[in-house]
Structure 1
Amino acid sequence: MIKKKIGIIFGGKSAEHEVSLQSAKNIVDAIDKEKYDVALIGIDKEGKWHISDQTSYLLNEENPKLIQLNKTNQGIAVIPGENQRQLKSAAQSSDLDQIDVVFPIVHGTLGEDGSMQGMLRLANLPFVGANVLGSAVCMDKDIAKRLLRESGISVAKSMTFTRKSIGKMDFNKVKSNLGLPLFIKPANQGSSVGVSKVENEEDFHQGIKDAFQFDHKIIIEESIIGREIECAVLGNEEPIASLPGEIKPKKGFYSYESKYIDETGAELAIPAELSSELTEKVKQTAVEVFQSLECEGLARVDFFLKEDGELVVNEVNTLPGFTKISMYPKLWEISGVPYHELINRLIELAVERHKRDMQLKNVMWDE
């Protein structure tokens, strides 16, 4: 059997850099070595790309707080074109080994906001995950909310502000509209980066300051009282949903540290203790959300389940974490898809979509 070469791109100039390193390690460890060879491309915090060696691509790999990319200074050049040999060694201007599929596991800014996906499309490389539109839409919480409301799917009440409208951000007006407590978030971030819980006016102003460090647009959102339910979705045109899981934070809300660093920061109930009717409702709604936001490949849909049974969408993550404590692979494992098979199916979905896209005409007439 001829092995496919899988290019795993990880790291990135993102607040979620360390999470990506952990995700990459888990994917490399779990991928089926009999079916795939791996090429590792690490991106450092300054945005430089490195050709990495599988035996030494990480430093402090067992410590989530200290994990680092081992920089090689063997850079990458991307050459858009018709064939799939667009990745070259920048130093030697020589082709890298043929890469058949890219698994971009760069979380957050420049990784799951459509930027990486656009570059890979220009390079004509099949890649795992949502395409440009789905990636960009889901990364922008403001736009995602608008589309979900248009689709009749419940989302939390919120207000959106940019730096230009900062003068309109009056605490008493926001409190009157959304109540307390409330949450302030950068519009384009994931993994709870830059998110603040607001109980008073002092928290409000500090939360605004913190959120604007990560984006030019912020969301101020009402607090929803309910259980935190997550559901994993897999597929392209006919997606399927996993059994739901539940997050039970032990330290306030489900923070970045609780998700990726502190294994005791939250209790994960997998699967969630739900009735069969509610389980099906979560799965069906997750698929509807996935399709409404033009997702493909994979996504994790996060809900609040209110006491009256209403499901409110919190956010959608198109490149969810693959760390040891990440929900996405755990949900599929309890649903009958083990980690190595999940990776295999994601790669197959990438190839399937690329073949479909290659059938489209790019000109109005034949030459």
Structure 2
Amino acid sequence: MADQDHYQVLGVSREATPDEIKKAYRRLARELHPDVNPGAEAEEKFKLVTHAYDVLSDPEQRRRYDMGGDSPFGGQGGFGGFGDIFETFFGAAGGGGRGGQPRSRRERGQDALVRVTLELGDVVFGVHRDIEVDTAVLCETCDGSCCQPGTSPVTCEICHGSGHVQRTVRSLLGNVVTSAPCTVCQGYGTTIPYPCATCQGQGRVRARRTVSVDIPAGVESGLRLQMPGSGEVGPAGGPNGDLYLEITVAHHDVFSREGDDLLATLDVSMPDAILGTTTTIESLDGPVDLEVRPGVQSGDILTIKGRGITPLRGSGRGDLRVGVHVVTPTRLDAKERALIVDFKKKTKAPDPKLAEFQQGLFARLRDRFRNS
């Protein structure tokens, strides 16, 4: 082997790039492989081609060879070359087990993620949505076979349908049998001489499809709903992956959520706070009457039962809790001011003083709206 010019064996110039050397080797190896071209002469040429590639594909070995040196068994102490050669030629990453069954073209499709934005009212009751998904679907032309209509895959001539090739290599340790995926068929055991023109032999195409889904009540931002089998179809018509819907609940100008309860703030005039009143407010499921008791204070909570959110898992509904904000008038005419002064004298209102700090729901509501 050392007497042979490795560049001449591969049919490349001494300035050939690594990619050119690899292409030349693959072409010659396919022509001279004993499974394709049996005979002692072809086998000997195959060994020469393999050894030449072993030397020239390794930058350090190639450098030494160009300077006049060579090793009959490659680098790494004389034993590493053949394993690397077979991985390069037969494609160890291409699938197919060592001596196992050929690899299946049908594989499970990938999962898909779609982000869905809901209104707060959708969360209260649940909602039906038709969602547009851009994903991989089954090719209608070949129905997932990957072949042009009327044709079918053929058995690989190199591995004879096994999906892998075996080769006996002589080394200092004796004969070594190696097995690696066949690079001609990529470990499938068959080749497709006439790929489907619609999907380019993939058995699937990109398309936009509509997925109908019933989103339950009680979901919240960040929650992911899983729809098994609604994701991408796999290669060669393999089973679908799953579809995940990531929920985002849009901000509402009036209502916010705390668990299964809805929170809101009600502005009440000072006279109505003193005397009490009944008002009608618009909840997320229609108008509802709300009684404001006489003497209500800012920060008091008025509760309307069963007008909150339906739990994600469970029955019934939460409550609508309304925090009272007593609005003090800032502009009074002379007559109004006189009435207030007279009222103060008659009620003998106490002077302002510090009271016990209270951090109630109303304060939290106020902070929530201030930061929204």
TM-score by length of structure 1 reads: 0.17
Higher alpha-carbon Rg: 2
TM-score scaled to structure 2, two decimals? 0.17
